[in-house]
Every structure is written in structure tokens, then in C-alpha cells.
Structure 1
């Protein structure tokens, strides 16, 4: 009986935690499938009758949605790939050298608001003539993705017995060979978690693309902002754009939730 009550209490607590997010998503879906008349009706109409797709059509009519989707893919994949390329070896070095101060610097870089980097980097990119392309957006997204990769990988590498790499060094391997052939295969769950988290944060970032992007280099979060007009807020197209932007990340999270949970419980949330 006690076990049953514990399961009920646990299930209820989980429901309380996810209910706000679920309701927001369902309300956004409802707004995207209703006309503007129904969206402004009082009392509110939750279930559209009948559902309409004109809001999704409006998103593609008002934006170069496919072009912005391509820009988001290029920026997110590039920023994530570069973050893994530099962040994984950095996390390994910090973990093995027990560089606590470096770990604190990485943490500070992660929690510092992005606006602190935006203004000086914008002036720098403007001075060297890079504004208006996806290159400055990729570079500035490294401010987000690299600390995530380093911090996640530090926990995994700290959990590995150093004796494994020492044995490889005794056998004649170099430090890079020990890292690549011994440490990396054992930390693949950590790399998976780091890649997924970096991609999600890069994909969802709005302010960097809003300031640095030109007409042909805008990313998908900017498409949501473009649905706002001076005359009125069109809730249907706005919700449809937000839904289209959120959908890839939502699907990625659902498909990779097992890897994320396994990676985090294996040691990915440990810190130096």
C-alpha cells in the first residue's frame, strides 16, 4: 500500500511539473489552428472548429521560411561541430589537470548573459566587414555551445579511471592516442549529450541572429519575430511560426531522450 501511494505521489508530482509546459504547447497548437476571430473570442475557444491551416500558409508567405530554416541548420550544425571539436579536448585537459580555476572560468562564461558579448563582438564584426552573413552568428554561438560541451565532458572524463590512459602511455601511446583510443570511446554518451544540448541552445537562440543577421542570413527564431506587426498581434501566424521553430527541437528531444537520460546519469552533470 505504501509503495502504491509513493507511486501515485511521484506521478502526481511529475504531472504538476510538466503540466504548465504541456498546457503552453497545447495552447500554442490551438492558436495556430484557429482564425483570428476565434483567437480573440471571449470566453476563449480551446478546441478549433473546424481547424484551419491558413496561419501556417501565412508564415511561409511573410518569410523566406525555407531559407531561414537552412540558415538555422548551417549555424546550429557548424556551432555544434566546432564546439565538439574544441570543447571535448578542453574538457579532457581540464579534468585530467584538475584545473579548477579554468572550470570556474568556463562556468562563468556559460552563465554570463549573451548581451555582454554581443555589443563588443558586433563592433568587431562590423569593423572587419562580416556582418550580414552567417559567419558571425556561428562564431558568437560558440560562446553558448563551447562552455556546454566543456562542462558536460569534464564530468565524464573525471569519472574515468586515469589508470586506463596511464597503461596506454606505458605501452608507448602518446597523450593524443590515449585520449582518442581510450578516453573517447568510453565517453561517447557524454559526447551525445553535449551535442544534443549544444544544438538545442544554438537552434533556439534569438538575440544574436536578430542583431547580427542580414536579410539573407536570418535564422528561424527571427521568423517568429517577423510575425509581429505595428498594427496588431496576429496570434494565429505567430503561434504557427513558433510551433514550426519548436518542432525540430521537440522531435530531437523525444527521439534522443533515452541517450540524454543515460548520458546525464552516467556522469554528465558532474562538475570539476
Structure 2
């Protein structure tokens, strides 16, 4: 259905109103990161800096093991996302083709359950195993976030993929694993892209697990922003610079892969129509 110019205008205004708070906060964070503390504490507030304080980024990077935390975040997020895809995509395919609705409900419950519910028992388990202070507990507990995301997204996608190609491959003598690898997996590539990006975002931005389970040398990048806070005085410039650098990787990933995201999210609706 083609929209009238008035409908397009109203839709644009509605979208602008919905996203304006997020855009405003993001722009204000950029402003804080580029100003010296005198202008950050000025009243009335100064939005455009008179001098560019690039030293805030240098201070954020050079303070309190920022590079180490960045490396830890890359390892934890990369490992948790990779394992989630390796486990979650075949699991979603099996649940879909076997019509295991009870298993799908269990995955949904695991997805809806707050991560803090798993934190205390897993903390005691990792303490008993002597793994606290290493990266392994964070990788394992991040799977609680990433695996249900991958499975739930891919269940919805595999439900809408055509079965004719798979049936033809089975008739030609292919095994179920060959059908999955050579037929279903290439078709499901847009859905896998969406699951990958969402897994990265949820794992990368997680804060609580990094604070509780990690040691001083194994904390992740969001903890670096928290460590810039102090009881004496908050340095808003370096804090905003560190926050932007934490936000930048998933933001760039989303921007560069936006076409794949849109294709993955709309594929089910198109194929189901």
C-alpha cells in the first residue's frame, strides 16, 4: 500500500520523536568527551566546545588498564558469540524440524530470565572449581545470554524457510547433516547475521558479570568506564570518552551490517506471505 505524503510526514515525525532522546544523549556524550572540565561544569551548559579536548580520549585509554580490558572484551565476546552460533544454530534447526515446542518454550524462558538469576549459583560453582579471576567464567556465563538469543532468532527463521529444497536433497540421498550444512545453512545466512550482531551487542555491553566474576586483570571494557568513577571528583570528559569507545564497536558493526539486519528481520515475513 502506497502511503500519502501526509502519512509519510506523520510517520517521519513519529520516528523522530521516538529516537530524539537517544540521539540527544549520544550527542551530549560526544560533547562531554570533547570539552575540558571547566566547560563540562559550566552553568548554563556549553554544548559546542570552544577548544577540543582530545586529551580526554588519551587519558581514558591510558588509565587503569583500558587496553587490557579491551582485549578481555574482545576475547569474551568473540568466544561467547562463536560458541553460541556453533551450538545455537544447529539446535534451532533441530527444534524446528522436530517440532519440539516444549524445547522452544524452555529456550524462551531462559531468554526471559534475568541473568542475575544464574549469577549466584554459577559464582559458587566457579569458586569451587577455582576459575574465579580468569576469563573462563565470563565466557561461560555470557553463553546464558547469547545461546538463547541465537536459538530463538533462528527458530523463527527456520520455520519460514522452504522445505522443498531439503526434501529434494533427502530424496537424492543426502543425510540430515548434509541437508543442514549445504541447504539450510546458506539460506539462513541473513538470520545468522542478525543473531551474530545481537549476540555481540548483548555480550559486549554486559556489565554485572564482569564486575562480579572477573579479577583485576580480567575485567571487561564496560568495567573500565565504571572504574573511571571516583568518590572525590568525576572527570566527565574522560568518562564520556571511555563510554563512547565502549559503544563504538557494536555501533559500527550495526551500521555496516544494517542491510543484512533488515534482510534477516524481514525474511520471515516475506517468505511466510
TM range (shorter): over 0.9
Is structure 2 residue 44 aligned with structure 1 residue 40? no
Instruction: Provide the alpha-carbon RMSD of the alignment.
Output: 1.6
1:15 matched to 2:9: no
**Which residue in the other structure is 1:202 paired with?**
203
Q: How does 1:193-232 map to 2 (within 5 A)?
A: 193-232=194-233
Deviation at 1:164, TM superposition (A): 2.4
**Superposed CA offset, 1:199-241 (max 9, x none):** 1111111111111111111111000000100112221111111
- Superposed, which structure 2 residues align to 1:257-268 within 5 Å? 257-267=258-268
Structure 2 partner of 1:129: 130
Residue 56 of structure 1: SS of its match in structure 2? helix
The residue that corresponds to 1:85 in the other structure is 86
Aligned partner of 1:4 in structure 2 is: 5
Q: Which residue of 2 aligns with 1:71?
A: 72
Question: In 1, Cα distance between the equivalents of 2:62 and 2:159?
Answer: 51
| Equivalent residue, structure 2, for 1:252 | 253
Structure 2: where are the runs of 5+ without partners? none
Which residue of 1 is the match for residue 144 of structure 2? 143
Q: Runs of 5+ in structure 1 lacking a partner? A: none
Q: CA deviation at 1:171?
A: 1.7
1:179 is the counterpart of 2:180: yes
Distance in 2, matches of 1:91 and 1:35, equals: 51
Counterpart Cα distance in 1 of 2:72 and 2:130: 19
Inter-partner Cα distance in structure 2 for 1:51 and 1:244? 17
Question: C-alpha separation between the residues in 1 aligned to 2:235 and 2:113?
Answer: 34
CA distance in structure 2 between the partners assigned to 1:172 and 1:62 by the alignment: 60
Moved more, 189-198 or 62-71: 62-71
SS at match of 2:50: coil
> Quick one: distance in 1 between partners of 2:61 and 2:258?
30
Distance 2:106 2:148 in 1: 9
Measure, in 2, the Cα distance between the counterparts of 1:267 and 1:216.
43
In the alignment, the residues of structure 2 paired with residue 267 and residue 55 of structure 1 have an alpha-carbon distance, to the nearest angstrom, of: 45
Query: Moved runs in structure 1, 4+ residues, more than 6 A?
Result: none
Deviation at 1:58, TM superposition (A): 1.9
SS class of match (1:250): helix
Post-superposition shift, 1:162?
2.5
Q: What count of residue pairs does the alignment treat as equivalent?
A: 269
Q: How many angstroms does 1:57 deviate by?
A: 2.0
Q: CA deviation at 1:177?
A: 0.9
For each residue in 1:34-56, what CA deviation from the matched residue of structure 2 results, as whole angstroms up to 9, or x when unmatched? Answer: 12221111111111111212221
Q: How far is the alpha carbon of 1:6 from its aligned partner?
A: 1.4
Q: Distance in 2 between matches of 1:256 and 1:8?
A: 27
For residues 227 and 189 of structure 1, what CA distance do their matches in structure 2 show? 38
TM-score by length of 2: 0.95
